Structure 1
Amino acid sequence: MTRLVVVSAGLSNPSSTRLLADRLTTAALDRLPGAEVTHVELRDLAHAIADNLLTGFPSGELAEAVAAVAQADALVVVTPVFSASYSGLFKSFFDVLDPGTLEGTPVLLAATAGTPRHSLVLDHALRPLFSYLRAVPVPTGVFAAAEDFASPELAARVERAAGELADAVTRRPRPHAVDPFADVTPFAELLG
């Protein structure tokens, strides 16, 4: 079964960021029937993310979210735009992931803002971030300004990006699960 994780960094409830995430999820599910979807709402994890940055390990719901992302076959990530880039909460969540967590994972990039002036955030902030994390961003990113939500152009971008994500998932070889405790050296042997 395909595991799709949707990470949304909207700060209000309801938020245009979550609205876009839901539209992208629906379009992706149309192309990935039977996929299991996990929603990660970063607003609810803000304190745990800050604690993780200070302590070095996730706990509770954040640990569950990190595990879901690590096991995902694909991600849909959506952030509001602040100061011409992704939000600090969004970046902080991806900062707490272990190196290599997203390696080879297809990712659909999306962002929301009040005006179209911020549309370059997809290629100037999000794409470099996920390339650095060795994820595989799909070619079409989706940006939505406030006035875009009723436009047929947004619907067309959502459909195109969801199709690209589904194609990337079906072409991606499934990694073999590695048990990190399968080959443990006994403590007595380490001391010897």
Structure 2
Amino acid sequence: MKLVVVTAGLSVPSSTRLLADRLALATAGRTSAEVQVVELRELAVEIAHNFTSGFPGRELSAALDAVTQADGLIVVTPVFGASYSGLFKSFFDVLDKDALTGKPMLIAATGGTARHSLVLDHALRPLFSYLRAVVVPTGVYAASEDWGAEGLDERIERAGEQLAALMSGLSAKVPRPVVSTGDFEVIPFEQQLAALRPDA
């Protein structure tokens, strides 16, 4: 499996990249996924050129391919003007509109104050719902005061666990076994649905 992390941090070092790395560790530690990080800061010029030319440069093309082929995604943006950054949005604007359909995803953001934490549900979640990704229930927002404070580690671990479970479930090729309860058998809904398909 392949886990791709898209981070839109602008500074070096970056709290956005730090959060992305911790989320990747929490997820990959529960799967056999190989992790690839896409730093949007390094692709800013190629993203801008893509808008004017209609064609991605070599590095941007490789990043878009990585995201398209990923088994799971972690996306992390800094908050600017109470929303995701322009660089972050621009990357997903040049991505093929169907590339994220059904793809497991974890959303996260960083900001200077806890007042921006609603960016997860009011900006990021609607964006990726529109792109038809499957976003895990737990999003992670880290304000400046959250680093080293109680609660952030637990949110990171919970989100990583949810993404790992979703990646493993969607990538499994072996059908679930029938569960026996003694007097009768419980057949999973997915298995019943598969039996109704004409090609089954």
TM-score surpassing 0.5?
A: yes
Equivalent position SS for 2:102:
coil
TM-score (norm: length of structure 1): 0.88
Contact 2:27–2:163 at 8 Å: present in 1 too? yes
May I ask how many residue pairs the two structures share in their alignment? 173
For 1:115 and 1:5, how far apart are their aligned partners in 2? 27
- 1:74 is matched with 72
- 1:48 is matched with 46
- 1:182 is matched with none
TM-score (norm: length of structure 2): 0.84
Q: Which runs of 5+ in 1 are unaligned?
A: 176-192
- 1:98 is matched with 96
- 2:140 is matched with 142
Q: Which residue identity does 2:27 align to in structure 1?
A: A
- 1:19 is matched with 18
Once superposed, what is the RMSD of the aligned Cα atoms? 1.1
For 1:87 and 1:38, how far apart are their aligned partners in 2? 21
- 2:184 is matched with none
Equivalent position SS for 1:7:
strand
Equivalent position SS for 2:132:
coil
Summarize the Cα distance change of 1:71–1:13 in structure 2 as closer, same or farther, 3 Å threshold: same
Shift of 1:59: 1.5
Quote the sequence identity (%): 64
Q: Which residue identity does 1:169 align to in structure 2?
A: M
- 1:10 is matched with 9
Equivalent position SS for 1:14:
coil
Contact 2:111–2:142 at 8 Å: present in 1 too? yes
For 2:53 and 2:2, how far apart are their aligned partners in 1? 29
Contact 2:27–2:160 at 8 Å: present in 1 too? yes
Equivalent position SS for 2:101:
coil
- 1:180 is matched with none
CA displacement 1:61-84 (0-9 Å, x = unmatched): 100000000000000000000000
For 1:131 and 1:57, how far apart are their aligned partners in 2? 26
For 1:109 and 1:57, how far apart are their aligned partners in 2? 27
Shift of 1:26: 0.8
1:170 to 168, 173, 192: 168
Q: Which runs of 5+ in 2 are unaligned?
A: 174-200
Contact 2:71–2:171 at 8 Å: present in 1 too? no
Equivalent position SS for 1:172:
helix
Q: Which residue identity does 1:161 align to in structure 2?
A: A
Equivalent position SS for 1:4:
strand
**Which has more radius of gyration?**
2
- 2:86 is matched with 88
Shift of 1:174: 6.5
